[in-house]
């Protein structure tokens, strides 16, 4: 019988594993909302304790080892040493959410509750302007774009690179501790690389910086892609150089424990089409993705993970050409992304990590039987011959019924039981 690590690596390498591997909570794009984590812990009869919010931007809950065992999770996480709001998760404290759940958050989770929702401060610094807002009735934060003062005719690369720099002593020490924690474990280890998310619109406003400079508005960024692609190319080029140096340091510290690295979460698709043309992707993104992936494959045993929501069928050949091993979240409900067609066209070229069930419709709003039927259908489609790690299509959202979660997990176990 394979270990979880062997099972995941076999699937990525398009070898048939002994069972279909599963990931929930492995990274910040395969996670579970903290409210649903609490329900799952109760459903499995696990120790009752507040859920740790490991990623406050999306209010994702930490899937601890006892819950991983109950669910049958094959993945272990090393999360970034700082959250998207720029602070370290440490010295946990209780926090009461507006929906009535008591969770644990970092001592640096500094918020103000106002009439229109909750505002959070970057790095826990109340002298700065808030960088995130959770509206009333919402279950996660939206990034706030703070005013910037820059000259459109004299853009400066360094102002858009201020969050990228060499790995410091604090980060190196964190990696040493985390590598020691997971070394020798049976689960496959996944982490997010630092600084390789080229043009990720969630990060453009820099919610982790107290006073970001440069082009930080969402609309301004998209205009920049069209009006000054040379500047964007230079920005990506410099960012890639910094990232390659940091990857070399990471490899020295923890290279032996990592199996999968999330390179980039930049979305390229809507429900109907892509944000950019294939030509633009080839011009701006592909050369830099290829440099990153080529370095990783030449110097490590890591497998590289690319996230993009939406109808990206026309870009998948380019994503493969760029050297990615894994595609997530495999949004089968988007135009041109039907499961059978994806498996037929690309199933031997890239591993699908996700696509297991629709998190916009079936999982939150369907019946348990509908969930079971969809999950089994996706398993039958994607799993043969390897190339599939089961996960939902993006993070499991708040208000998802726990009975549907159990139906999903039990369907995967039932599929594995037939093997």
188-209 pLDDT tens trace: 999 999 999 999 999 999 999 9
Q: Given this model, what pLDDT does residue 147 score? A: 80
Buried b (16+ CB within 10 A) or exposed e, 254-281: bbebbbbbbbbbbbbbeeebbbbeeebb
Q: In this predicted model, what pLDDT tens digit does every residue of 97-107 receive, in sequence order?
A: 999 999 999 99
Confidence of residue 90 (pLDDT cuts 50, 70, 90): very high
Confidence of residue 247 (pLDDT cuts 50, 70, 90): very high
Of all residues in the chain, what percent carry a pLDDT higher than 70? 100
Residue spans per domain, the chain: 4-30+72-81+153-417
- The region of weakest confidence among 143-157, 279-293, 394-408 is 143-157
E strand spans, 73-161: 75-78, 93-96, 102-105, 111-114, 117-120, 132-135, 142-143
Strands 326-328 and 303-307: parallel
Confidence of residue 150 (pLDDT cuts 50, 70, 90): confident
Confidence of residue 152 (pLDDT cuts 50, 70, 90): confident
Q: Given this model, what pLDDT does residue 418 score? A: 67
Residue 41 has pLDDT above 90, yes or no: yes
Confidence of residue 328 (pLDDT cuts 50, 70, 90): very high
Cβ–Cβ under 8 Å, residues 269 and 310: yes
Confidence of residue 129 (pLDDT cuts 50, 70, 90): very high
Confidence of residue 153 (pLDDT cuts 50, 70, 90): confident
pTM to 2 decimal places: 0.97
Which residues are within 8 A (CB) of 325 and not within 5 positions of it... i.e. 6 or more apart? 12, 303, 304, 305, 350, 351
Topology annotation, domain 4-30+72-81+153-417: TIM Barrel (3.20.20)
Q: Given this model, what pLDDT does residue 149 score? A: 77
Mean pLDDT across 41-70: 98
Q: Given this model, what pLDDT does residue 194 score? A: 93
């Amino acid at each position: 019988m394979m270990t979880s690590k062997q099972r995941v690596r076999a699937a990525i390498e398009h070898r048939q594993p002994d069972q279909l591997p599963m990931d929930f909570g492995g990274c910040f794009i395969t996670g579970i909302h903290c409210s649903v984590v609490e329900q799952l812990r109760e459903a499995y009869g696990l120790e009752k304790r507040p859920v740790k919010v490991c990623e406050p931007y999306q209010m994702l809950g930490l899937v601890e080892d006892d819950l991983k065992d109950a669910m049958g999770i094959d993945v272990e996480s090393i999360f970034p040493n700082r959250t998207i709001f720029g602070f370290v998760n440490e010295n946990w404290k209780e926090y009461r959410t507006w929906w009535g759940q008591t969770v644990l958050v970092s001592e640096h989770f500094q918020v103000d509750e106002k009439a229109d929702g909750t505002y959070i401060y970057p790095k826990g610094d109340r002298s700065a302007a808030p960088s995130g807002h959770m509206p009333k009735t919402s279950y996660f934060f939206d990034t706030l774009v703070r005013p910037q003062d820059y000259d459109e005719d004299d853009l400066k690369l360094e102002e858009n690179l201020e969050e990228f720099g060499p790995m410091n002593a604090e980060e190196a020490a964190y990696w040493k501790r985390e590598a020691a924690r997971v070394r020798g474990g049976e689960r496959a280890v996944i982490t997010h690389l630092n600084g390789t998310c080229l043009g990720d619109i969630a990060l453009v406003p820099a919610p982790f910086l107290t006073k970001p400079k440069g082009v930080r508005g969402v609309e301004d960024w998209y205009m920049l892609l069209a009006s000054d692609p040379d500047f964007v190319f230079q920005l990506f080029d410099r960012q890639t150089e910094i990232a390659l140096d940091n990857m070399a340091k990471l490899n020295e510290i923890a290279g032996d424990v990592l199996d999968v690295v999330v390179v980039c979460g930049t979305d390229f698709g809507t429900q109907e089409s892509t944000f950019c043309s294939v030509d633009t992707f080839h011009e701006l993104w592909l050369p830099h993705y290829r440099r990153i992936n080529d370095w990783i494959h030449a110097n490590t045993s890591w497998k590289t993970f690319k996230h993009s929501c939406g109808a990206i069928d026309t870009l998948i050949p380019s994503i493969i050409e760029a050297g990615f091993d894994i595609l997530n979240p495999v949004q089968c409900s988007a135009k041109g992304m039907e499961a059978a067609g994806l498996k037929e066209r690309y199933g031997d070229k890239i591993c699908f990590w996700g696509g297991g069930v629709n998190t916009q419709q079936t999982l939150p709003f369907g019946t348990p039987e509908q969930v079971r039927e969809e999950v089994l259908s996706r398993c039958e489609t994607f799993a043969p011959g390897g190339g599939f790690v089961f996960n939902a299509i993006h993070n499991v959202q708040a208000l998802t019924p726990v009975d549907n979660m159990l139906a999903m997990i039990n369907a995967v176990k039932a599929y594995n039981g037939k093997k």
